[in-house]
Amino acid sequence: MARSRTPAQPSMMQRNPQLVFSLVALAVAALIGFALWYWSGLNPYGVWLVAVNGAAFFLYRFDKRRAGKQNGRTRVPEVVLLGLMWLGGVVGAGLGMYLRPRHKTSKMAFVVTLVLASILHVALLALWLF
């Protein structure tokens, strides 16, 4: 008796990569933030900036590694990478973009977002400090 094979169900990563990578970014930022807050006693805004920049750098480098291996693996969606910049990860995203090997530097949306988000967060930092 021959068995009929049912098609494999797509994984959560294939169905909704934005959600998966957003949760990964949140988890990385939460771990970095909790460790900084617990051991250093920094204020919450400073902890947030360090944590989201660490998560941004990690995901940009992770996406670059995935981009180099053309093996069909799911990459980090651009909306997640851009969102991390707007949430305060401009330094981590900038380092992730411009350290060798470069990543996403030829895409105008990333360059413009990096500049605009940098201006926004420098202004917010200035308001917070003064």
Task: Round to whole Å and give the CA distance between 29 and 32.
Answer: 5
101 inside domain: yes
| Containing structural domain, residue 69 | 17-129
Catalogue the long-range contacts made by 47-53 (C-beta closer than 8 Å, 24 or more residues apart): 48/88, 49/88, 49/121, 49/125, 52/84, 52/87, 52/88, 52/89, 52/92, 53/88, 53/89, 53/90, 53/91, 53/92, 53/93
11 inside domain: no
12 inside domain: no
9 inside domain: no
6 inside domain: no
Give me the number of domains the chain comprises: 1
Q: Indicate if the pLDDT at residue 19 is higher than 70.
A: yes
Say what the pLDDT of residue 102 is: 85
pTM over 0.95: no
48 inside domain: yes
Per-residue model confidence as pLDDT tens digits over 40-99: 877 788 888 888 999 999 999 988 888 877 677 788 899 999 999 999 999 999 999 998
Under 8 Å between Cβ of 90 and 117 = yes
**For residue 16, what pLDDT band results from cuts at 50, 70 and 90?**
confident
